[in-house]
Amino acid sequence: MAEFGRAALLLTFGLAAYALVGGGYAAWRGRRRLAHSARNALIASFFSTLVAALVLVAGFLRDDFSLAYVAGHSSRALPTPYKLSAFWGGQEGSLLLWLLVLTGYSALAVWLARKRARDLVVWVTPVLAGIALGFTWLLVAVSSPFDVIAAPADGSGLNPSLQNPYMVVHPVALYLGYVGLAVPFAFAMGALLSGRTDERWIVATRRWTIVAWTALGIGQLLGAHWAYVEVGWGGYYAWDPVENAALMPWLAATAFLHSVMIQEKRGMLRVWNVTLVSLAFCLSLFGTFLTRSGVVTSIHSFTKSSIGPWFLGFIVVAVVFAVGMIWLRLPQLRTTAKLESLVSREAAFLYNNLLLVALCLTILWGTAWPMVSEAVRGETMVVGRPYFDFFLRIFGLPLLLLMGIGPLVAWRRASLRGLTRTFAWPAAVALATGVVLIALGAGSSTPGLVAYTFSAFVLATIVHEFARGTSARRALTGEPVPTAFGRLIGRNRRRYGGYVVHASIVLLAIGIAGSSAYDSVTEGRLTRGQSLSVGGYTLTYRSLGEREAANATEVRALLDVRRGGKDLGTIQAGKNAYSVEQQVSNEVGIRTDYLTGEDLFVIAEQVDDNGAVFFRIFVKPLVNLIWLAGLVFLLGSVITLWPDAREERRLATREARAGARSDTPATT
Amino acid sequence: MSLWILLAAALAVAIVVVVALPFLREPAPVSDTLHELDPAERRLLEAEEARDRALAALQELEADHRAKRISDEDYRAVVGSLRRDAAEALRALDRLGRGGTSDAEAKID
């Protein structure tokens, strides 16, 4: 079976090489049949990669420990869902997942754009093939998932922290995001290679960018929830290098999604947009490098390996290629449109871009600092949480405020008097919120208070926008409120979907501010019958139990929970000892108050032989708004992504009028 | 083991056929050249983009003004230049021999 997997990967390698060389030559010399053949090769590479992936899945499901990768990441006792997620539990499988998603995206992207942007696709094909070739090379020559060994009686099992339902979906979502950024990058490079620097590459990739950005955002939130419930340290984001590695391309893509609107509306920022999309893609490669190379210490770096230099070389090639192409096409990318006023929507989007990129680059500096310091000084120095928290506040809070201001300022220029009128109501709501919060004692944390006040301002602008838009539509059409509201969104999905996404970011900000600036914590060693109090809760340690599960011994401490004299039931926290993996994991207890969004979070840090347990207990106000933000974010993204038939017709008409004609039967 | 090799060979053959399909379908085509936009078509496409951009900006301004997102003062300050841009874009299209639609002109009026 391993031979079949290896052969499938070799086929992918051959197809990618053919699509790169043949496709590049066809685009350069204008060879139609060769271009289509290269496009078919890129599409076929998805199917050969899929075969390789299925072979590996079969290896896991059949407990085929003659495959070294399966033996190293699974065991007979491992539950079936985790046998499937063990696919991406190690380096080789992760790279194969990267390649599978990349070839899948590539096949779909070139197929869907074959008519609308056919002269771009001929250049996009070799770019995507080049990326696929790099990853296939790693899988074929450096780190193969199909290496065979003399089969042991049982495998070594899967890292216990990966034995969590979130690990079935979190890495996949994250990879859908990372890899998805390859598509807008390839179209941007295709536009530069072909000299077609008009806005068609943006139109062709707008949805791809949003899909990748959404997946990356959801993937990060799933990862945060995994860290919260599984890693057991009491938080959800630790500025871990690998967490940062996913955040950075997301920030760059967020900046791109905003700045691209300026190009669409005003024809400005063409150089900036291709730079941003290249930055986002290169950061996604950097993220994979950080996760898989083992150059930084991270809870996510499950393996150390030799692919680091290869990956670094790959990133250097991508950066040099992107910079070279932008430099080469600078004259065509220049535009005559200028920023007319510093008080305008395009100026607000520009400020938003500068803040996002500044935040992204400061995170990059903090993340890369251990590597830089080791290279320069010979010793690894790490910047801690205060560094990242400081820059998050410095750049994040103005960004939050801009989210409310930007969409309501007129394009080109706006008067201060007009702005005062537009923002009077939201500003009053924000001010009132701030006063009430101070009265309630929220002034104990200035950043928290500012975050809440700004959040109130943004939410007020969003609610006002929906109300005003619905009212204007009703006045125009006489429709009832629900119809006017529904059609308002339906007729302008990008705008109102964007507002919903903004609302999700506000929820996220409130959740983060509440759970980090206003949380409470206590700790102590308890024997049976003793109690600890924190944040109005009193927890009494009642008993300790032990049971044998399929692949672990589970120890659980049971605690009674009371608040204000009211019995709230019990909560359990403890540890799992995994016999095959010879590892122990924290299994935290969480009690959620769905009305207030608050969590009571219990960690059993240490269980003594005499039955005493050292507990750490947190009360995290509003933390559940973070997870709710994920659902709202997804809803906003879906609204934005939903196809707009009128826009499709307009673009098709423009293409037809410009004289672009079919040069081939579409089915080849 | 032979079964897996057989399967790999079948996969390889299927893939070669798919990749060679454009050549198999058209062994001797009249033209094997990719269509590329000539300079005139390219200028036309750019002019159409400029027209769509100007009209979309004008429509958005009108909608924002109607919804009272934008004050009368800001509306008056911007609408003139947007109309001029849209008219210029339409004139540019006319010069290239492809006028804007009457629908588009009606929007400017």
Q: Which tens digit of pLDDT belongs to each residue from A583-599?
A: 888 889 999 999 999 99
Q: Which residues between 14 and 33 in chain B have a beta carbon less than 8 angstroms from any beta carbon of chain A?
A: 15, 18-23, 25-26, 29, 31-33
Q: How confident is the model at residue A657 (pLDDT cuts 50, 70, 90)?
A: low
Between the CA of residue A242 and those of A178, A196, A245, A368, what are the distances in Å? Answer: 12, 36, 5, 11
Q: Which tens digit of pLDDT belongs to each residue from A341-367?
A: 888 888 999 999 999 999 999 999 998
Q: Which tens digit of pLDDT belongs to each residue from A227-269?
A: 898 877 778 888 888 889 999 999 999 999 999 988 888 888 8
Give the per-residue pLDDT at A305. 65
User: Where is pLDDT greater, at B55 or A161?
Assistant: B55
Give the per-residue pLDDT at A222. 93
Q: Which tens digit of pLDDT belongs to each residue from A442-455?
A: 888 888 899 999 99
How far apart CA A311 and CA A296 sit, in angstroms, is 14
How far apart CA A488 and CA A471 sit, in angstroms, is 10
> From the list A3, A658, A659, which residue is nearest B4 (CB)?
A3
Q: Above 80 in pLDDT, residue A650?
A: no
Beta bridge partners of A394: none
Q: Phi and psi for A435 in degrees, rounded to 5? A: -65, -45
Q: Which residues between 344 and 373 in chain A have a beta carbon less than 8 angstroms from any beta carbon of chain B?
A: none
User: Where is pLDDT greater, at B65 or A118?
Assistant: B65
How far apart CA A31 and CA A23 sit, in angstroms, is 9
> From the list B7, B19, B52, which residue is nearest A37 (CB)?
B19
Under DSSP, the state recorded for A541 is E
Percent of chain A at pLDDT > 70 equals: 95
Q: Which tens digit of pLDDT belongs to each residue from A14-69?
A: 999 999 999 999 999 989 999 999 999 999 999 999 999 999 999 999 999 999 99
- Are residues A616 and A523 in contact, defined by beta-carbon separation less than 8 angstroms? yes
Q: How confident is the model at residue B100 (pLDDT cuts 50, 70, 90)?
A: very low
CA B86, chain centre distance (Å)? 18
Q: Which tens digit of pLDDT belongs to each residue from B18-60?
A: 999 999 998 888 888 887 777 777 778 778 878 888 888 888 8
Mean pLDDT of B94-108: 56
Interface probe with B: pick from A3, A4, A496, most Cβ of B within 10 Å? A4
DSSP string, A82-138: HHHHGGGSSHHHHHHHHHHHHHHHHHHHHHHTTTTTHHHHHHHHHHHHHHHHHHHHI
Q: Which of A8-22, A52-66, A542-556, B67-81 has the lowest mean pLDDT?
A: B67-81
User: Where is pLDDT greater, at A373 or A224?
Assistant: A224
Q: Above 60 in pLDDT, residue A576?
A: yes
Give the per-residue pLDDT at A6. 92
- The model's pTM is 0.89
Give the per-residue pLDDT at A78. 86
A44 touches B: beta carbon within 8 Å:
yes
Give the per-residue pLDDT at A268. 85
Give the per-residue pLDDT at A629. 96
Q: Which tens digit of pLDDT belongs to each residue from A273-290?
A: 999 999 999 999 988 888
Locate the chain B residue with the closest alpha carbon to A471: B67
From chain A, the residues in CB contact with B25 under 8 A are: 665, 668
Most confident of A206-220, A367-381, B84-98: A206-220
Q: Which tens digit of pLDDT belongs to each residue from A293-345?
A: 666 655 555 455 677 788 888 999 999 999 999 999 998 888 777 888 888 88
How far apart CA A231 and CA A169 sit, in angstroms, is 16
Q: Phi and psi for A569 in degrees, rounded to 5? A: 95, -150
What region, left, alpha or beta, does residue A595 occupy, with left being phi > 0 and alpha being psi -120 to 50 degrees?
alpha
Average pLDDT, chain A: 88
